[in-house]
Amino acid sequence: MKLIVLDRDGVINQDSDQFIKSPDEWIPVPGSLDAIARLNQSGWRVVLASNQSGVGRGLFGMDMLNAIHAKMVDALAQAGGRLDAIFFCPHAADSTCDCRKPKPGLLRQIESRFNVDLNGVPTVGDSLRDLQAGVAVGCRPYLVLTGKGKLTRDNPDLPAETLVFPDLAAVVDSLLD
């Protein structure tokens, strides 16, 4: 099975320091939806793994998060794409949960749900914590320069094996080449 793990904010959709709190604030990064559709059409399973601490902070509830995800899923369907699963951590940054990236809990959940080993599986993020969570379970880290990616690229803790691309579409071009 060909599998890829994507972060949401800054990879699929534009990021905001004030959080994405409503469907109106969810705006896709140009080319990201078509990139996911191309992966799907090439036999890849696409899974989302996203920190959503706005829930834990009380900025929005689960109903609103579900509405945001519904908009994303609908927009993907219109582009001919789909997500095979959405995994998220709803806990605030000060939580001791094991699912908030950079901890690998969300990725372990993906391994369990899909009965796979994520060793070598591409994980795409725009922040250091996305990449660190993936590396912790053996994923191959891909940094996109959308979202917080340009700042992350200069972080001295960036995993040495990280591949850097302008955006998700460029990552997909590389994977399907």
d(CA 158, CA 45): 26
Q: Which of 9, 15, 126, 167 is catalytic?
A: 9
Q: Is 34 a catalytic residue?
A: no
Alpha-carbon Rg for the chain, nearest whole angstrom, is 15
Q: Which of 7, 126, 130, 167 is catalytic?
A: 7
Q: Is 17 a catalytic residue?
A: no
Q: What does the CA dihedral 172, 119, 66, 13 come to, rounded to 10 degrees? A: -30
DSSP E strands, the chain: 2-6, 44-51, 85-89, 122-125, 140-144, 163-165
Q: Are 87 and 109 in contact, with CB atoms under 8 Å apart?
A: yes
d(CA 76, CA 31): 11
CA neighbor of 124 nearest in space, from 24, 9, 1 = 9
Catalytic residues, by residue number, are: 7, 9
